[in-house]
Structure 1
Amino acid sequence: MTGRSTDANKAFTLDTDRVAVFDLDGTLVDSVDGIAVAINRLLRAKKALPLQREEASALLGHGLDAFAKAACESRGVTLTDDELWRFHHDYLSNPLIGTKLYPRVPATLSLLAQKGWRLAVCTNKSEAPAIAILNGLAIFDYFDVICCGDTVEQQKPHPGHLSETLQRGGFRHLPAVMIGDHAVDVAAASASGMASVFAGWGYGHTEPAFRPSAVASSFEDLPGILESLIPARSRSLA
């Protein structure tokens, strides 16, 4: 899905030559509380103990299906197809509940766009909740393309997910950086020959086999880090 509207472009440089690709959960937004509410309703119905926030956070990164299955496995209960559907329906009914932007996200996205970065989202989350969150938190228009887990054949860590994101945005010819909080983001970037920035404020952790190009401790650190990875070429303002 494409994002940025004409109005959102007015103050931005137009001769852009580099791309910043963002993960969603744990990178742009803190959504674990809302996801945990939905899975804990399911677990209580199965007479199982609910997940604590830290437990739920550790299971994120591979999409909602994988999260629900891992949550049930952690409590020693079996997840049926019908229960998985009900979990999805419960969460999708209002994915904005328990979801908030990390500090300085809009201001930093605006700064990156003004500095000539094209912005994209590559997430294993399904499209319906991803779009609802981006719209509901008023950052949808910053992004040229949003490529979600249920619109591609292979999700991160497969490099095909990143390639498809760049293809849909018309960015295959531009240098790009992947920003994410999970090993799947770093692995996808590595397999694509792309630089990566690990989002240290998120849920995940790095793995020895996949080293990020850089680590950021806060969202507002990104402009300087990204500039060091792909320096700007001279450009004129429209």
Structure 2
Amino acid sequence: MLESFRTVSGLDEETAWKALQHYRKAYADHGADKSEPYDGIIDLLKHLQSAGIPMAVATSKVEDQATRLAQRFGIEGHFINVCGASDSEGRASKADVIAELLLRLQSEGIDISNPAMVGDRSYDVAGAAAHGIPTIFALWGYGEAEEASEAAAVVPSPEALLTLILDYIPRPAAKHDNHPRLKPTNSTGQYAQSNVC
């Protein structure tokens, strides 16, 4: 949102920060309660968890609001961690959020050697790329198709995302190894995902 206030609205730095604070207050007071998960998302999360694929959230939303939404929708149990923006800890960009999430996952013993990001904005793609992480672009989200130009793969629906993941992620070789590896899905180098941010 801060970047949008700067670039789309053309606000100077000080005004953009003030606008962000007003936006966050309005979202916390009213906006969050109007949110609903996209159709198919809850089933997608259930299937991915059943398949043993570790998932976490890396969002530009303020972390406490992201946690609140996950709890409201009853999906917090699908995620190892929910990481969001934090002014007090200096996490503003998506790259910052992903960096913190990777540290958290690593500290919990999660294999982060081959993660993938699922996102719907160019900020997701760029933020993940800053850490060498490929992005699967979700066309059903807020972003426009043009924002997917640097994504490793593009999917039109949660059902298509599930198919992509399950078709191209090898099953673990042993019971104790439940962290599938990221593998190219075809000769163009598109990717399915293992750990999902």
Decide: shared fold, TM above 0.5. Answer: yes
- TM superposition shift of 1:218: 0.6
Given the alignment of the two structures, is residue 213 of structure 1 paired with residue 140 of structure 2, yes or no? no
- Secondary structure in structure 2 of the residue aligned to 1:103: coil
CA contact (8 A) 2:63 2:85 kept: yes
Q: Show the counterpart of 1:175.
A: 114
Q: Unmatched 5+ residue regions in structure 2?
A: 179-197
CA RMSD across the alignment:
3.1
Asked which structure has the greater CA Rg, the reply is 1
- Secondary structure in structure 2 of the residue aligned to 1:148: strand
Q: For residues 119-165 of structure 1, what are the alpha-carbon distances to aligned partners after superposition, in whole Å with 9 as ceiling and x for unaligned?
A: 1000111012211111111111111001101175344443x432321
Q: For residues 23-64 of structure 1, what are the alpha-carbon distances to aligned partners after superposition, in whole Å with 9 as ceiling and x for unaligned?
A: xxxxxxxxxxxxxxxxxxxxxxxxxxxxxxxxxxxxxxxx3x
Partners in 2 of 1:105 and 1:118 — Cα distance?
Answer: 16
Partners in 2 of 1:145 and 1:231 — Cα distance?
Answer: 24
Share of identical aligned residues, percent?
Answer: 25
Q: Show the counterpart of 2:34.
A: 98
CA contact (8 A) 2:44 2:158 kept: yes
- Secondary structure in structure 2 of the residue aligned to 1:122: strand
Q: 2:137 aligns with which of 186, 198, 204?
A: 198
- TM superposition shift of 1:217: 0.4
Matched to 2:128, the amino acid is A
Q: Show the counterpart of 1:150.
A: 86
Q: 1:223 aligns with which of 162, 166, 174?
A: 162
Question: Which gives a bigger RCO, structure 1 or 2 (Cα 8 Å, sep 6+)?
Answer: 1
Q: For residues 100-125 of structure 1, what are the alpha-carbon distances to aligned partners after superposition, in whole Å with 9 as ceiling and x for unaligned?
A: 00011111111101111001000111
Q: Unmatched 5+ residue regions in structure 1?
A: 1-62
In the comparison of the two structures, how many residue pairs are matched?
A: 171
TM-score normalized with structure 1 length: 0.60
CA contact (8 A) 2:125 2:148 kept: no
Q: Show the counterpart of 2:52.
A: 116
Q: Show the counterpart of 2:65.
A: 129
